[in-house]
Amino acid sequence: MLPKIVVYKAVPPDVLDYLREHARIVVVEPAPGQSQASLSGALGEALVDAEGAIGASIKVTPAMVARARRLKAISTISVGTDNFDLDDLTRRGIVLAHTPDVLTESTADTVFALVLSTARRVVDLAQWVKDGQWHGSIGPAQYGVDVHGKTIGIVGLGRIGGALAKRAALGFDMRVLYANRHPNEAAERAYGARRVELGELLAQSDFVCLQTPLTPQTRHLIGAAELRAMKRSAILINASRGAIVDEAALIAALADGTIAGAGLDVFEHEPLAADSSLLAMRNVVALPHVGSATHETRHAMARCAAENLIAALAGTLSRNIANPEVLAR
């Protein structure tokens, strides 16, 4: 009999057809007005007798997994794994697959779009024009700042950070600093990137870009003290995970001019509340977590995740495994 898998995020029809060729499919999708708690409960029930699961954007807890005694593999349609307890999955012998490569370039595009749009005030000034405020020649009140030739500091120089360094160094002649647990010698050779401690990166960078995964060690990595360490003219860019930044501290820093602005694709709580102070700030560009959101990339992510899952259930998956220690069991 074909294995049962739970699909808990909408995937393209051809990807769903691929999954149906290899497994029995149960789709868990939100009903109109359904709460996140109710959706999580439905997913937990569907997992009870499932061997696999594929999806994103819902936290899969150890309690849910404990009831799923036949579960062998989960495939997340994302690079991030913060919706899972990796240690618990590994203890239970469950493979967690993810999609670390296919979204690299489109996410780096989004990050650099935030750099450009905050520096040149693209969103603010576009709205100014739409509001009918353009009555003559512009002046200093509408000026932005240059990007070319400035210093970019990248916290986390992995795949996406490396792609960002490429755009900055080769496209905009920027000086690249990075903070990372390990040296990235390829980026140092190709882009002149220099590895420094976080404090030095914050003090020297005109743009601080966060590209590190969310872990207990990186939660609120950027707080009030780190924001004070930045230049008053600096701009913070976060397209990794919202909780890496202490959002209350960021709001305070933006309000009092501790830093000049922020470009944000992620937030501590998503969707961002309509009454968030961030939305009233003209020096903030806020996006709805669209880092990899292009038609091409999202399709490639779904296909990659589907192939990951089927290979994991067959015992043949050898890449894109977030907890490779499980293979040693």
Active site residues per annotation: 241, 270, 289
Q: Give 209's strand partners.
A: 154, 237
Pairing of strands 95-97, 73-76: parallel
Q: Is the peptide bond before 100 cis (omega within 30 degrees of 0)?
A: no
Cα distance between residue 276 and residue 248, in whole Å: 10
Helix (H) or strand (E) holding 20: helix 13-22
Between the CA of residue 83 and those of 38, 46, 153, 164, 248, what are the distances in Å? 17, 18, 27, 25, 23
Cα distance between residue 302 and residue 299, in whole Å: 5
Ranges of beta strands (E only) in 192-250 are: 194-195, 207-210, 235-238
In single-letter form, the type of residue at position 279 comes to L
Cα distance between residue 167 and residue 149, in whole Å: 12
